[in-house]
């Protein structure tokens, strides 16, 4: 199967945009990712997927902790910043001892519970330790572009 065809097919799935963060040796590290999902309600578990060539992989492997920051629709620049296109200063707060992105609609801190190497990525199962929420619309990603939510009106019968 052609790699481009596979990428195009995966791009047809609209996702939210997250920035994963961790603190390693006193420094804040982060990366933009859309490979994130909930795994279990009891215990509360999530999974993130990190490519083997990402610098963030070593940082979260060593720290054994990470935060998932689900970005708001006004945080496209934050996403770009952590995907390798620096956009200036990013404002951080702290939640459960981890750096989190200020203004994110959800900040979820985790301890690494399990690690699985699959293909060219490593999957980290995180046990959720704390959550903070804000009421805003999310930043979305679809077919390689940032998008915003638009409410559709349904016809009345």
8-state DSSP, 17: -
More confident residue, 26 or 129: 129
- Stated length of the chain: 157
Predicted confidence (pLDDT) per residue in 66-93, tens digit: 999 999 999 999 999 999 888 888 999 9
Average pLDDT, integer, range 15-40: 94
Average pLDDT, the chain: 93
Position 157 pLDDT exceeds 70: no
User: Can you list the domains of the chain with their CATH numbers?
Assistant: 3-147 (2.30.110.10)
Sign of CA dihedral 93, 133, 20, 139: negative
Q: Where are the alpha helices (DSSP H) in 12-85?
A: 55-63, 76-81
Stretch 45-67: mean pLDDT: 97
Helix (H, G, I), strand (E, B) or coil at 68: strand
Band of residue 15 on the pLDDT scale cut at 50, 70, 90: confident
């Amino acid at each position: 199967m052609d790699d481009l065809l596979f990428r195009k097919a995966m791009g047809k799935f609209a996702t939210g945009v997250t920035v994963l963060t961790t603190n390693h040796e006193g420094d804040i590290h982060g990366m933009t990712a859309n490979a994130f999902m909930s795994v279990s309600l009891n215990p509360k578990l999530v999974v993130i997927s990190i490519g083997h060539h990402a610098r963030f992989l070593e940082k979260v492997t060593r720290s054994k902790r990470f935060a998932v920051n689900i970005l708001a629709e006004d945080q496209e620049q934050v996403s770009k910043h952590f995907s390798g296109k620096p956009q200036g200063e990013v404002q951080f707060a702290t939640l459960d001892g981890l750096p989190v992105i200020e203004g994110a609609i959800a900040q979820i801190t985790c301890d690494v519970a399990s690690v699985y190497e699959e293909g060219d990525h490593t999957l980290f199962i995180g046990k959720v330790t704390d959550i903070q929420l804000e009421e805003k619309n999310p930043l979305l990603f679809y077919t390689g572009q940032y998008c915003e939510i638009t409410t559709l009106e349904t016809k009345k019968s």
